[in-house]
Structure formats: structure tokens, C-alpha cells
Structure 1
């Protein structure tokens, strides 16, 4: 491990600051809704650097999961080729919108495998991982278990239709695919069945008291976000399934033949591996551990409101259990809407970053977002 030269690793002085944005999925193009977050974060990091803070901005492509494997198969290419295609496109688009990362990496990296396996082993050693055989959603027509994003139905909490099998975009509730009402397979539209499979679960309930204290004591957290997360804790936290059956593109769980880490286990770990990439590309004057262990730096996440559950419950519990630093704060933004509705291809209100550039100046969009974003 490198010595603690973190304060000299980049320009600036004072306590080092690590800032991240949520990782864009390597299965499609960046659109102007995505850009809300990256422009917001970029502006904040630029401000920190201008006032002399020792700040770095790290991000990465989120590259694992069944959607990657399925989309690559449809295109007749390997998953590695698909994620390479979108990595090139994403980095080009970010550059054209003047978004400057200190490290932009990939979750399909040796560093991410290392930290995913390290954190998983520490969770097991701490008694926070159990295995259970439970029912999961299986499509008899497609002959495969259906991951969260390949089964839709009505939200079991609020009844909203056409919701994915992990989180409701209307009420932000989380659940499993078998909880959906009137589910159907996204691939073939047929109703799935339930089939038993053995999986690994993270005992999130072990951290209820810790999470309640951590959320309640964070005075920087937006009040409406704090209240929302506390309501979930009060309702009781369920064990979280952190494995998936093959076929699946991701990291195989050590000792297993056809079980893989769920994408939401290794995706946020991409923040740590991108930090490691930053240190590697800056002469190894620091290490990821300098930022993520020992309380030597302040960590800030920028995310959308649809992934609050993962970043304010699962992620901090994983970090706490495995001996890594927690973020000092998580900034949450809403969705970009057109006429108070979510962007939609069918309504003609959906614009990719590249489509915007055909008629618009990227600096105009940056100014518009900066002028209109609020803390709520």
C-alpha cells in the first residue's frame, strides 16, 4: 500500500475530498436526464478546486448484469465488446459537455473484482451473509431466471403499473421480482413461474440501529430524503439477495459454478476501484485505502432519487461491515421532466446527449441546469 501521500496526490490543500456520481449503465446512450447529475457534480467539483480544496471526481461505467449479457447476445457480440462500445461513447459525450473526471473507469476491472471479493469475504466472516433456497422468477419460455429488469408488473406497494422487479419508479419502494402483481417477462411477454434456487443474502437488518443513527445524525442530508429513509428502517429491513444465477455477465462468486455477484453489490464498489484507478494513473502517490479507510478524506456521492435505497441503506451497511469509510453526505436530485412528465420516446420528449448537440450548445444546457437545480 502506498504511504499516506493523499494530500499531495492532486493540486489543492486541506482535507482531501472524493466526489462521485452514480455510474451510468453500459447498455445505452447518455441522455439529457443523465446529464443533470454529471453537470451538477462537475460544477461542484470545479468550485471545490477553485477555492483550493484537494478534490477529485471519480466515476465509472456500470458494466455487469443480465441486460448487458442479453443485449450483447442480440447484437451478436460479446459483453466485453458491448461495454467497450458504450465506454467510448459515454466518455466522448461527457467530454463534449465539458464534464471533467479525474478518473472514469469500469466496474469490469481487476480492481473491482478485488474489492468485490474482499468486501464479500469480510461480510461472510462477520456473519452478515447467509444462504437460502427461495422462490425466484423463472420464464419457462425463455428457459432462464429473470433478473429484476426483465420482469415487469404492478408495484406491490402502490399499484403502479409496468414497474421493474426491484424498485418502483413511482413510490421508490423496493421488493423482489416475486412480489410483483401480474408479472410478465419483458423478453417474451409471457407470465413467469416461481422456481426455487439457492442464493446468498446480506443481513441488512443487522444494521438497522446503526443506519437509523447514521441517517438521523447527518445534518447535511436533505430532510425529505432523511425522513423517507427512516420510514423504510422503521418498516423493517429485509435480507438482500446479492447473488444471481447464470447466464449472467459479471464476477463469479468464489467457490461457485453458476452464481454471480448481483450487479448492485459490485456497482457501488466501482467508486472504490475508480479511486484506485486515479491513484494508479497518478504515479501511485496514493491508494484507494487512503480515501476509503482511516477517516482521512471526505466522501460525497451525487445520485438520483430512484437509487436512494441502495445508497443510503445497502451501501453504507456494506461499507460499515467491511471496514471502509462511509460518505459524509449523499446529494439527491430529482428527475428531468417535460411538461411535468418523465421523458418519453413515444411522446417525442426523449433526447440523447448527442441529439442535443445537433442543435444546442452544451454550455447553454450547463447554465440552465445550474440556474434551475435546487436542494430539494
Structure 2
């Protein structure tokens, strides 16, 4: 427990240390297979997933943590991306070749940033494809057998000129959901994740021909998402009690747990009144100060019927956020085959639902690769002793925070579903959603007007650990923050320091200097043999406070707070070194005591930094000549000698050796190259 002073009476009280699961899965949202990774994939989400996975490996044992992510191979964005590049002569090869190339490049980027999933799979390639296809059939068949699916006939866009049905991003228009700020709406969802019926898309255009498509009827399988409104409300109530869950998660989920509504411009009010009696039963909501009025329904089919009446009579409207049936299948050829249900053949699974259970498929694939049975995935996904942490961007909360938990509940064997699943059933995930990481104060996306820099390109200006530390310190868990790299910023003040470099100075300057000074002094005074004196009590107390503060913040995914803890601890260590280490004025015993204290501080800072800056800290491990036990939180307060024994010889540190470097271009800019 951590000891703190009370505000009123000055007495101390104990803060319980956070509890962590016995086993954990960490997932990072899956990037599409139509492109390489841009900075948002890495800096907005995957670095955070990797940092937490590394922390858990140190905290509960690496054998108990599985970190999975992978390339989202299927769907219209990938097929359309390949078609455009092939037509333009920018790519030669099959659609699968296209996806494979991008998958391999994504893996290379992750390696360059020291992002270390146990498995970075691909839903449409190799063994992970086979396992994912098998699990998809099992998952959907189980939903069907439990009565959780409906066949619904809807209208789908059809390009008469091309003679084909259009899916997903093969259609663009404006999102019909009231208040939506997305740049693009697609066939039945916008780029912010809002769901709607295809016929409600405003001003649709075919991406294939540029023509306005017509609508033709199709039949697909849908998950009965609306049946889970009450259970989702109960789950949201539990999320609100959990201080580790970011408000953006439960607030966004809550926005959809409302009755279906239609917003109509006031200029059409008289026309609406003339049609009111033709519409299903609804309530008129008086909101005099708004430019539109609202009508509310008890049932979604009634709302849909009213929409058709309004459309037929030329009345402009938008629908509100609500739960709608969640489409599971489609007729796009490039997709995971759907099971044949009630004789319906030739369907594939829509990319969004299958990407939600893809991490389960990937967990199975990883376990199989380690010689374990695939069914052992249940020890991670279906156990009360385990937790699943899913790192995503806020745009994807609808899928991970609504569709996924509802489908997980639907898989329960009991007819009485619960948001607190019993042992053996899929457990509710812990959603860790970051706010938007902006680029030069604008929201950037590959499909939007502002294009983000690719993650690999940033490495022409910065080291991976400079970028990791900068992104982790932005506070994306609290608000949207702009990434302002100076080489990309035309408005940057030439006299001001690059914010990325500035955040990296704690390691490249301060911590580096502490480590080098300690090593060089020890090499000079004691031949590089570790001091045997125990760290002093004051040093132990400061370390304990830093460790417990860091642990508490990490348990709440407050990565920026963890960087603050490290900043304070490392700078205090630097001040201590400057004040206390004076070997020319001290006896050998006094100098050895100071060095013992310093190496303890170096160790504590190293273990706290290990999840964030693994390259430099593992180089430190190499020079300390210790094994991986150095990272275990089971012995976090022990000195280095605990792992080595007496007379431990450190690896010789040559002059001007850095553990945390700056990028070579930064030396050139400073006139040092």
C-alpha cells in the first residue's frame, strides 16, 4: 500500500495498490490492408497498446500476457484501394498480393518502433486466415443457433453502368445522422462509425463510375443489437463506476442507448403536420430554440417507416443515434465466407464484425504456434482471472463498445443474458479509447482532406523512442491533442524547440548523463565492480513512492501521468548526483555509497521506463549484465545485487556511449555533425 497524508488532520492513510489479472490479452485496433501505417496508427494507438502489454509482462509475467493485433485484410476499402492502384499502374499483382505487401510493410514498421505483439496476424493470409475463417463460422453459427440473428431485406446500392452491387467505400455521400461531422459517408456507415440504412445516405455517388447508383433489394443476416439496449445500459452504469474507464467510452456508448428519433427542419413543419396521421405512433418533442424539431419513436421499424414517408414527400430530415440491427453479412467477394444458414449461400461476412472477433482468432493462432491447444484461448477471453484490454481510437467505440459486448453477451449459453458473464463465457472487454491525435491542429486521415505522414517517414527525423515518449506524454486519454513535428510544420517558429525533441531530452540528456557518470566513475574507482553497500533509506523511500505512483497511474492507463512520475524521479536523481557524487573529495566508502544509491535509482528508473522506451533500457540491461528478472515487479524494490551476487562486474562502457540517442539529423541541425 502507498502511504499518504490526509488533508484535514495530517494523519497518514494507506492507498490500496491496484490489482492486476492473472492473465491478460492486449489488442491493438487492426489497420486496413490497403496501406502502410500512418502516424495515427502508431502514435494514436499501437504505441499505447505496446506500452501496456510490456508493462503487464513485467508486472504479471510475460508468460501470462498475449498481445495481438494484425492486418484487417478484407472489405471494400482494401478491394477498392487495390482496384485504383492496379488501374493507375501503381501495382501489379493480385488483390492478395496487394494485401500481403502491405501486411509485411506494417510488420516492418512495428519492428522499427519496437512494438512487440506476440502475434501480428492477417485475417486473410496464411494460418491466421484459416483459423479466422473457422472461428468465424463457429461464432456466427452459435449466434444463429441461439436465435440472435435475423434475415432482413434492405435496399443496396447498384451501379447500373458497371452492372455490380456496391459495398462500403464503393459509395460516397453525406452521413444522414444529425450532428455528424464526418467528411464522408459510405454505403451504410460514415467514417466516424455512425450506422444507418443505405437508402438514408445523402447524395450517394458510385466510386466506380461517378454515377448516382440506384437501389436494389438484397437479403442479409443481422445481429439483434436492439435486444441488448437494457443490458448495455446496465453495463454503462458499471463502466461509470470504474475510474479507469475513460469518460469518452461510456459517454459515446450512452449516446446510442436512446429511442429512435428523426430531426426535421422547421421549414417542413407544416408539411409534416399534414402527414402526421399517416405515420406510425410517435411523440413530437418541443425544442423551440433549435432550427429543427424532433419526433421520437418506441420502435425502430416505426422510425424507418416514417423515414420512407418523409422521403417520398420530399421532406429533408436526419436520424438520431440509436441502436440498429448490426449487419453481419454482405455480397462482396473479398471477404470471410459466411456460414450457409437457411439455404442462403454465397454471402461473406462484413469486415467490421469479423474484425471484432479476429483477436480471438489471433489468440488461438498464437497459442497454436506455441504448441498449446487453440481452446486455451478461453483461459484468456472467458475467465474471471483474466482481462482483455482493447486499445482503440474514439471513432471505433461504436464497434468495440457496443456491437462487440452485445455479441459477446449473445453467445452466453443461458437464455437469461447478463453484462456480468459467468466463468467460461466471453468476458466484457476493457475498452481503452484514445481521443483523436490531430496533425498540425487538424484531423488527418488517409481518406480525408488532410493526409497524415506515414509512420516510417517520421523516422527520418526522430528516433523511435523520442516519438514513443512524446506520444505517451500527450494525454490522449483526456482530450484530442495535436501532433506538431517541426519538420512538417510550415508555421513553426525557428527559434522554438521541436516538441518531440524536447520531450526526448529527459532520456537523451538527463538519464543518459546519470547512467554514463555512474558507469565511468565506477570503472575509475572500482574497476566496474558493483558496490556492495545497500541503498540508503531515503533513496529506498523515494523509489517506493515513484513506483507506487507509477503503478497507480498505469492501472488507469494514465500514460502521461506515468511520464510525469518518471520526469520527477529522474530529475531528482540528477540533482542528487550533482550534489552527492564528489569522488575527489570523498573517501572510497563514501563514494561507493553514493554510487550504490545512484545505481539503485538507475535501476528503478529503468524498470519504469522499460515499457515506454524498451530499446534504451534493454541496452542498459546489457551493460548491467543482468538477466530478464531485472524487469519483474515481483522484486522491483530489490537492488541490482539481488540478481547478481557479490563482486558483480558490469560490462565496460566505452567513452561517449549513449543509451538513449538523438536522431543523427538533430546533431546536424545543431551544428554538431
TM-score by length of 1: 0.89
Q: Cα–Cα, structure 1 residues 46 and 281, in superposed 2: closer, same or farther, change >3 Å? A: same
- Using the alignment, how far apart are the partners of 2:440 and 2:77 within structure 1? 30
Structure 2 unmatched ranges of 5 or more:
1-19, 260-321, 413-424, 479-673
1:29 to partner: Cα distance: 0.9
- Using the alignment, how far apart are the partners of 2:109 and 2:187 within structure 1? 30
What is the root-mean-square deviation of aligned Cα atoms in Å? 2.3
**Secondary structure at 1:56's aligned position in 2?**
strand
**Any residues of structure 2 matched to 1:123-134 within 5 Å, and which?**
123-134=143-154
1:221 to partner: Cα distance: 2.3
In the alignment, which residue of structure 2 is the partner of 1:4? Answer: none
- Using the alignment, how far apart are the partners of 2:452 and 2:100 within structure 1? 24
**Any residues of structure 2 matched to 1:102-251 within 5 Å, and which?**
102-108=118-124, 109-157=129-177, 158=179, 160=181, 162-169=184-191, 173-218=194-239, 219=242, 220-235=244-259, 236-251=322-337
Flag the structure with higher helix content: 2
**Secondary structure at 1:342's aligned position in 2?**
coil
1:276 to partner: Cα distance: 0.7
**Any residues of structure 2 matched to 1:25-104 within 5 Å, and which?**
25-36=32-43, 37-53=45-61, 54-73=64-83, 74=86, 75-104=91-120
Q: Cα–Cα, structure 1 residues 347 and 146, in superposed 2: closer, same or farther, change >3 Å? A: closer
**Any residues of structure 2 matched to 1:255-270 within 5 Å, and which?**
256-270=344-358
Flag the structure with higher strand content: 1
Q: Cα–Cα, structure 1 residues 164 and 347, in superposed 2: closer, same or farther, change >3 Å? A: closer
1:261 to partner: Cα distance: 0.9
**Bigger relative CO (Cα 8 Å, ≥ 6 apart):** 1
Residue deviations 1:327-348 (CA, integer Å, cap 9, x gap):
4410101222123212267977
The range that moved more, 78-87 or 320-329, is 320-329
Q: 2:359 aligns with which of 262, 271, 274?
A: 271
TM-score by length of 2: 0.51
In the alignment, which residue of structure 2 is the partner of 1:340? Answer: 441
**Secondary structure at 1:153's aligned position in 2?**
strand
Residue deviations 1:209-263 (CA, integer Å, cap 9, x gap):
1111112212232223212211201234211221111433332433544211111
**Any residues of structure 2 matched to 1:332-371 within 5 Å, and which?**
332-343=433-444, 350-371=452-473
In the alignment, which residue of structure 1 is the partner of 2:409? Answer: 320
Q: Cα–Cα, structure 1 residues 187 and 359, in superposed 2: closer, same or farther, change >3 Å? A: farther
Residue deviations 1:267-298 (CA, integer Å, cap 9, x gap):
11111011112211222177212212243411
- Is the Cα–Cα contact under 8 Å of residues 382 and 427 in structure 2 kept in the other structure? no
Structure 1 unmatched ranges of 5 or more:
1-12
**Secondary structure at 2:151's aligned position in 1?**
strand
